[in-house]
Amino acid sequence: MYNGVTYATVLKKTTTQTLTNDSTKHVLKKGQKIKVDLAVEPWAEDFEGYIYRLHDYPNEYVAQSYIKLRNYLPTSSYSELTFTFVKPQTTADTKFYSLDGTPTGVSYRNRNQTPLTTDGLYYLWVPSENKAELFYHYVPYKQDRSYFVNNDGTDLKDAEIDKNTNKPIETTEDKIHYSNSFIKVSDVTYAGGNKLVPLNSPKDAENDQKVATDKDKQELQRKFEAKKNAQNVKGHDESAVKNYNNALLIASSVLKSPKATIAQVRQALWLLEPIRTQLAL
């Protein structure tokens, strides 16, 4: 194992790719020497081997079959480079919060202190405390309804079952809670993956409580229109596809609401990006 940077020889002409399997315009020629520094197990379930990160182009990778390595490298995985994992500090159920800083009424069933998956770090304005607090944005990755309970520890009310699919019918509120809930940083500790930095400041959280104007919503409208027509969903994981559809639902709800705040607009705009990354779009 070579913990650092090593050289590789390109065996045949190819272009590099992103972590999410998109091709770039960067061409590697046969016989070219390149520097690589990490072997990554990619997201695709049918991919054999690793993709290797180019040291001089840290957002680009090349598949194992296209290169010959001088030294073996440390390994990582798509999940470790995409998500941040946090561990509850106690065995008490972990409360979820809405974007407005209030409890959703739903908690994570936490008897075994299982790490939770997150993908963003946000200051939210908490009205009850009249201040901004730091929260992780939760990602319900490969988790179903059985992981969640009411804040008093009782089971959630059984959802109606769709007779055609035999799956629970989720309300719009259920979908928003599923894909856009937050965890107080003070309730958990970092357990691995990406080390995040806050996406806003405490002052931003306070100032963005103003009602958004049509002008404030313009960029969200543009990106929503572009993304809602994207049909090339390449993710194989049902949770990721569900999160993507819910992110579009959230954006649509914010755009339609005359009471939506600037904070809601900014967060809906951000939410569309990591969801696409998790889907490998």
pLDDT of residue 108: 87
Measured CA to CA, the distance from residue 270 to residue 161 in angstroms comes to: 32
Joined together, the tokens standing for residue 230 give 């994207």
117: buried, middle or exposed (CB in 10 Å: 19+, 13-18, 0-12)?
Answer: buried
Measured CA to CA, the distance from residue 65 to residue 51 in angstroms comes to: 9
Delimit the domains of the chain by residue range. 6-80, 83-205, 208-281
Banded model confidence at residue 77, pLDDT cuts 50, 70, 90: confident
pLDDT of residue 30: 96
Provide the whole-model pTM. Answer: 0.78
- DSSP tag of 70: S
| Residue 137 backbone phi and psi in degrees, to 5 | -85, 120
Calculate mean pLDDT across residues 165-178: 72
Measured CA to CA, the distance from residue 254 to residue 89 in angstroms comes to: 33
Banded model confidence at residue 91, pLDDT cuts 50, 70, 90: confident
pLDDT of residue 37: 93
- CB atoms inside a 10 Å sphere around CB 222: 11
Measured CA to CA, the distance from residue 52 to residue 75 in angstroms comes to: 9
Q: Do residues 121 and 197 touch, judged by C-beta distance below 8 A?
A: yes
Measured CA to CA, the distance from residue 258 to residue 271 in angstroms comes to: 20
- CATH architecture of the region 6-80: Roll (2.30)
Calculate mean pLDDT across residues 51-76: 92
pLDDT per residue as tens digits for the range 190-200: 999 988 999 99
pLDDT per residue as tens digits for the range 101-148: 999 998 988 877 788 999 999 999 998 999 999 999 998 765 566 778
Measured CA to CA, the distance from residue 143 to residue 190 in angstroms comes to: 20
| pLDDT higher than threshold 80 for residue 38 | yes
69: Cα separation from own chain's centroid: 32
Look at residues 192, 45, 210, 204 and name the one whose alpha carbon lies nearest to residue 117.
192
- CB atoms inside a 10 Å sphere around CB 78: 20
Which CATH fold would you assign to the domain 208-281?
Substrate Binding Domain Of Dnak; Chain:A; Domain 2 (1.20.1270)
pLDDT of residue 149: 85
Query: What's the chain's average pLDDT?
Result: 86
Q: How many Å is the Cα radius of gyration of the chain?
A: 21
Amino acid type, 60 = E
pLDDT of residue 130: 93
pLDDT of residue 278: 63
- DSSP tag of 213: P
